[in-house]
Amino acid sequence: MSTRDVTVIDYGIGNLLNVVRALQHNGASVTVVDRAGQVNHLPERLVLPGVGAFADGMSELRERGFDDLVRRFADTGRPFLGICVGAQMLFDVGEEFGEHAGLGLIAGRVRPVAAQGVTGKRHCIPHIGWSRLERPPACETWGNSILARMPAGEPVYFVHSFAPEPAREADRLADTYYDGVRICAAVRRDQIYGCQFHPERSAEFGLGVLSAFLEL
């Protein structure tokens, strides 16, 4: 199997086409599956895109049998990437429209983006647009990660009203700031990665994120 083979999960609410095209642009051979039963053996790489609400996403994952597949895949230590809601569902609990259990692969909760900046002035929710990535204090380097080609301070594209809050600082790979409010922009635990931003919509450096993922 090629090291650039990647399976993308289609659970009915994902932003699939742009993700597939961006992976293919980087030379990936992409297989899209919409039921866990279509996966005869655990793939080399797995991508979980997502738009919409946390609870809807988890419901569809369970309905299609993907929740168990993702957990089994995570145990292999192979590269996994969740995007936007796909990243949020990696966590224990999401607070959108009540509390809902996530996949529990990374400790923490998904909470609303603060409705105001550090000065107390209200800002727009959802947080939409380009925002710079920064290395968190506990992250010494982005080397050997999906952000290996991303210069600190480079803007990427966000569309979200909720964001993950990891229980462990060590799981934060990148942050961004919205009117001074710290937001977790990317997470990592072993080979499990999640991006709150959309690499497939983040121009050259976003494509670099996906290229680095394919080379893990």
| Helices 54-63 and 66-74, axial angle in degrees (round to 10) | 90
Which ranges of the chain would DSSP assign to H, the alpha helix? 16-25, 54-63, 66-74, 85-88, 203-214
- Between strands 100-101 and 91-94, the pairing is antiparallel
Q: Residue 71, Cβ neighbours under 10 Å: how many?
A: 12
Candidate list 84, 139, 184, 195, residue with the active-site label: 84
Q: In angstroms, what CA-CA distances link 90 with 2, 154, 182?
A: 26, 25, 20
Candidate list 100, 127, 160, 198, residue with the active-site label: 198
Candidate list 99, 195, 200, 204, residue with the active-site label: 200
| Residue 84 appears among annotated catalytic residues | yes
CA neighbor of 120 nearest in space, from 181, 185, 183, 184: 181
Catalytic machinery residues? 84, 198, 200
